[in-house]
Structure 1
Amino acid sequence: MITAGNMGGQALGSNGANSVKLPKYARTAFDYIIIAACYLFMPAGLVLALVRLLTSHYKNYRKPVNFSLLYHAFAGGFIEIIIFIIFLVSDQQYDFGGTGMLISLLISFGVLFLLPAAVFAYVAAVSRHDFSQLAAKYIQLAGDSGIRQTSRLSMETGQHERDVRRDLQYLQDCGALDFSMVFEEGGAAAAAGGMAGAGGPAPGSARWFAEQTSGVPQAQQSRQAPPQLAKSIRCTGCGAQNTVLPGQAKACDYCGTTIPYS
């Protein structure tokens, strides 16, 4: 189940006029469990975040969420270490060699955990922006331009057709696209099949390349130039029948008169 109220959203639609908002992060209940694990026990949270990334990162709308989970893993690890250090200092179990050493230790942990967290937070924001742009393009093409073929949308957006189908389903689930919209699959293949069924060659076939080279359909070439066969022609000298090959002249077998192919 995808929750739509994750830290606000971004308005999408025709020229920005549509009030429909996509969730900032399309998190599921399992994602919230991972975030909780990141702040309670960072190693387990990090492992779960990596598993989530490996199993769902092929979906465009999941990429911002997956990078956000990694951000929480490193941020949670830093917070856990700070709490542990505060506990040791307050309980006077360890003095860390003085204030200077403690500050150096905190800076080291900050670089080790907060720097990756900042990187993943930035990548998550960039991925969210990229998907918002892609979603706006889907809405423009499918909603405003009325394109319903996933193959056409794939060409227009530069996405694989499988990704297009997943993205459209997500946008319909979020309410950004109307559920009544029905999208057709395999438009390019159907067009090629229709051309072949109508007597035309499929693009990329040997017959198609031959026609492109000559500029004349092969079927038309066949009608224009039927194959010539050998035929029997009567000699004008003696009247005997002689077999003459196409494009050649032959001397009569009986009187020697030259018989042209005609």
Structure 2
Amino acid sequence: MSKHKRNEGAFLNYDRPAISGVAIALGLILFFPIGFILLAVRLWKHRDLSYQKVIDWKNAGTTFLIIFIPFLISFLSHLAAGSDIQYWVMVWVVLLDLIPGIYMLWKSGQRRKQLFDRYDYYRHLVLVQGVTSVQSLAETTNQRPAVVVNDLQRMIYLGVFQDAFIDMYSMSIVFNQWAPGASMVNVNLSVNGDSFVPQQSRPQTPPPTPKTVECPGCGSSALLQPGENKTCPYCDSPLAYPQRG
């Protein structure tokens, strides 16, 4: 099995949740300490998985809001029946359940936007500037190398970097049949004092056209404009405009 295939298989495992939400839910229902332990393990295993952390924030916020619904229904039914109501209980439910749930959903949206912005930055660094070292990308983006590796692997999976893989020995992104620096950038040398300073310029290429992208999550198709990133309207999976093909 080639190095490319080994890395690709490892990524597909990383792209799934470390512990499924169903297992955590069953643990909380049957014996809640087990559910909390499974949740803690999942969060720990996702510490370097940017996209999974976005999903974790979203799932947590959704769970809090679902838990809030029975309390709200009970409160409204007692209110309609004219029963004695302890309003302070509902206040605590709002403070400890509704507000945290809304915050988690907002945080998920913020994390998603930051992640997509980072994807764009990775694409510029790799395809335009020819930076392929994981360590250099980590220093430039102020991320841990393990986070950068996962981000790059997901971008490869989404088709942003085609015919590429992460070489874990050299800790760099490798293109099998395409050198990004040579293909995307022309290097001209200009004199600055007594030294030669490389000046990078983009080659003259035809303007890119809109492309239809297949969602990796649900298989639906979406038309993306050049350089556009957005989420699938059906399953919220990230869609990125492909660089080639």
Report the TM-score, using the length of structure 1 for normalisation.
0.46
Higher-Rg member (1/2): 1
Structure showing the higher strand proportion among its residues = 2
TM (norm. structure 2) is 0.49
